[in-house]
């Protein structure tokens, strides 16, 4: 199986289920995100995990084509960015995320993840 298809299937299902859970249980996820931003241990751990997953995706799938596989690559780079921010500038990352949580950004992000998840599921399983 092509690695692009594998990543599209796994990331697509993950994003879809996470996005759906965030839409259905909006208040709980918003509270959890807020609590995580105030907990240095969780910020460090989540930064390490995001960085590790992002590096795994980017080193094995750094594909820049004008087609759906670039979404997988962008997802990896976003994880790297988040991991670096959480590890090196946790206060700046927390401020940025708190601003997002205070506005309608959380709802928008939930729907974007849900839609991108559906797109990757379609790309991964229809290929």
Q: pLDDT by residue (tens digit) across 57-107?
A: 999 999 999 999 999 999 999 999 999 999 999 999 999 988 888 878 888
Quick one: pLDDT at residue 1?
Answer: 57
Six-digit token string for 120:
């990757």
Q: pLDDT by residue (tens digit) across 22-61?
A: 999 988 988 888 888 889 999 999 999 999 999 999 999 9
User: What distance in Å separates the CA atoms of residue 26 and residue 33, rounded to the nearest whole number?
Assistant: 11
The whole model's pTM is what? 0.91
User: What distance in Å separates the CA atoms of residue 57 and residue 3, rounded to the nearest whole number?
Assistant: 10
- Chain centroid to Cα 15, Å, comes to 7
Quick one: pLDDT at residue 120?
Answer: 97
The count of other CB atoms within 10 Å of the CB of residue 76 is 23
């Amino acid at each position: 199986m092509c690695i692009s298809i594998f990543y599209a299937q796994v990331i697509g299902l993950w994003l879809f289920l996470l996005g759906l859970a965030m839409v259905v249980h909006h208040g709980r996820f918003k509270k959890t995100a807020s609590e995580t931003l105030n907990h240095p241990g969780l910020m460090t751990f989540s930064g390490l995990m995001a960085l590790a997953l992002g590096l795994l995706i980017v080193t094995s799938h750094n594909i820049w084509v004008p087609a759906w596989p670039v979404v997988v690559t962008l997802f990896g780079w976003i994880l790297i960015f988040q991991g670096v921010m959480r590890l090196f500038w946790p206060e700046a990352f927390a401020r940025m995320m708190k601003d997002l949580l205070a506005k309608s950004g959380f709802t928008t992000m939930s729907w974007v993840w849900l839609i991108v998840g559906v797109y990757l599921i379609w790309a991964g399983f229809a290929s």
